[in-house]
Structure 1
């Protein structure tokens, strides 16, 4: 049967397919010598699941990591026909090119943004579209984490991804920086968005609830630089008073624990929101209520719902303030929660907050990642270039 006629299985169903059985049973050429292994896994799928299970207590991280691991393993079996444990540097080069253009498209890509592409659906596909530069960088980072773990666990001898040239990574970072800069809100755009939010109706109790919740969402993402999944997965217990100072304790990407200082303006917004919810003015230790409650059920809003709220705000801002600026309207239509993380980094830099503090607040592992979001040098370079005369 041709590849294009075979529906791709999820990771859970891989052991049931003959083609997967044949490859999963092979001992790859990059397997570590017997006796070095620190995990019980005897095949690539089991080894991958061992790595994934390290994040089982953080559902949002688990889902993202599972998605990338699954894509890689499916590509190994059905496209590249080579065990994960045999992949070398050139194979990973090929996989990177594949992620930029998954072919055949009908087999690998489902409907972009459509619910029909959810796991468990009969129409599920590993990709919704070719990856953009930001998504590609994330995918490579996650796969590198997987391969490093398998080396540390004595399952693999080496991590071939480390051989990819540093220059290529630097190129990706530069491309990512340009991409992020296009998403940074200009001061007038940010002010217009705040004005749109602050002018929302409070005529009914429900409208007032919606307004105060949205204001809290925007303040949390902006002042703390949170990822949307971090906002929706934490409770009020994340607010901790330490030595008289308020901090937000966050378990973020890669299951890493960090803390971010709480700005006094954010604390005021939180107090107003809690008052609207008929809660004590300040968070108390052990408070397990979700930060962003849903009005429809007892739990909190999901990340998708938060993005819907923010996109609605951005579109209303575009229609209200930028009718004569089609480029700005087109920009705001693409707005998402992560843009506020970008904006937070940029505004921290512009406010004169030291680079090391910005990096710590964003909880980045490296300086080069933070530099994607910090553009003070670019502003200075632009101003200096204006000294040239004709």
Structure 2
């Protein structure tokens, strides 16, 4: 079986050979206190995933990692998930660094039933995240009485003491963001559909940026989530794990929302009982929401077109835009708010971060100022022509 050709859907409908379904796994628990009725690995993993049914973004991420591991274990090692040992997971960690063959074949699509499962090597951060998700899954299955132990519990924990603090890098600086906005205005609008696509795309990227939304939050946002309180506009957001939050809506964003609605023949501002989505289908269908995948693809197209327009004059900027995705707009919003001097506590609330330490990674301005003043001071202290003259006149010592 081609490892990249997998029948995957929201119910984890993958079929494994009976000999590898985990019913006889060597790490299966055989105690009297089993908490679930599942007797195969797929059934057990499906129950674990069901715990996240109310969090679509988390569910998609967790299901992806479960599918990757199930297929890698059965097709590469010839073992069911419930027979994996710590040694096996060490091999999987090496595999994540450099997935090969059909696992990461660029000729295969990114989505669908015949998609590739990897886009390429995973970064150190992504590897850590993957193993954290899988360890959580195994811990759940141990608690459920399905597995006897969690091999990843033996993994050496990373120490954070003395770890170098880093700033987030996946964001657009002000110049690149302004270029993206200007680039969209150059899109051809020769047909009605061109015009519809243009209006939706320009509205979507502004919504993601100004409200610092995650892709799933933008996809599921309703028009009625925009509301007024004490004369100020706010956006009600349902985020990770169903957590609710409120984001201030600027006059600029409200104006863009009004423009988008007027284009589709709607009142400038929504009513409290309006059921339609904040971002509609290309023709303005207000009866259904976009999928997160559709939001992702629209934004990627915006970045791709902007990158292409920059290739000849700014190759580095073009390369950045080719890498950028929806989440970069959220990072950009936070970074730009921090650059403008917005109180870190307010940025934390705007991004709905549980910890203000997480929000702190967006503080670039102080680093920029320190770099400029340090380098500028060095440059001012020894002019280039003076340094060259001094060096040539000293001779050997």
**What is the TM-score normalised by the length of structure 2?**
0.76
CA contact (8 A) 2:25 2:83 kept: no
Tell me the number of residue pairs that the alignment of Structure 1 and Structure 2 aligns: 373
Aligned to 2:344: 355
Larger C-alpha radius of gyration, 1 or 2?
2
User: Whose helix proportion is higher, 1 or 2?
Assistant: 1
Change beyond 3 A, Cα 1:200–1:385: same
Structure 1, unmatched stretches of 5+, are: none
For residues 162 and 208 of structure 2, the distance between their equivalents in structure 1, rounded to whole angstroms, comes to 28
Could you tell me which residue of structure 1 aligns to residue 109 of structure 2?
114
Superposed, 1:1-390 pairs within 5 Å as: 12-15=13-16, 17-21=17-21, 23-26=22-25, 28=27, 31=29, 33-35=31-33, 37-85=34-82, 87=84, 91-103=88-100, 105-106=101-102, 108-111=103-106, 114=109, 118-119=112-113, 121=114, 124-133=115-124, 135-151=126-142, 153=144, 155=146, 161=152, 164-167=155-158, 180-181=168-169, 183-198=170-185, 208-241=195-228, 245-253=232-240, 255-264=241-250, 265-295=252-282, 298=285, 299-318=288-307, 320=309, 323-366=312-355, 369-383=358-372, 385-386=374-375, 387=377
Relative distance call for 1:168 and 1:79 in structure 2 (3 A) is farther
- In 2: Cα distance, 1:40 partner to 1:311 partner: 43
Deviation at 1:269, TM superposition (A): 1.7
TM-score, scaled to structure 1: 0.77
The separation in 1 between residues aligned to 2:4 and 2:182, in whole angstroms, is 52
Unaligned 5+ segments in structure 2 are 383-397
Aligned partners of 1:187 and 1:94: how far apart in 2?
42
Determine the C-alpha separation between the residues in 2 that align with 1:368 and 1:94: 34
Distance verdict in 2 for CA 1:317–1:239, change over 3 Å: same
RMSD (Å) for aligned C-alpha atoms: 3.9
Q: Which sits farther off after the overlay, 71-80 or 145-154?
A: 145-154
Indicate conservation of the 8 Å contact 2:49/2:62, yes or no.
yes
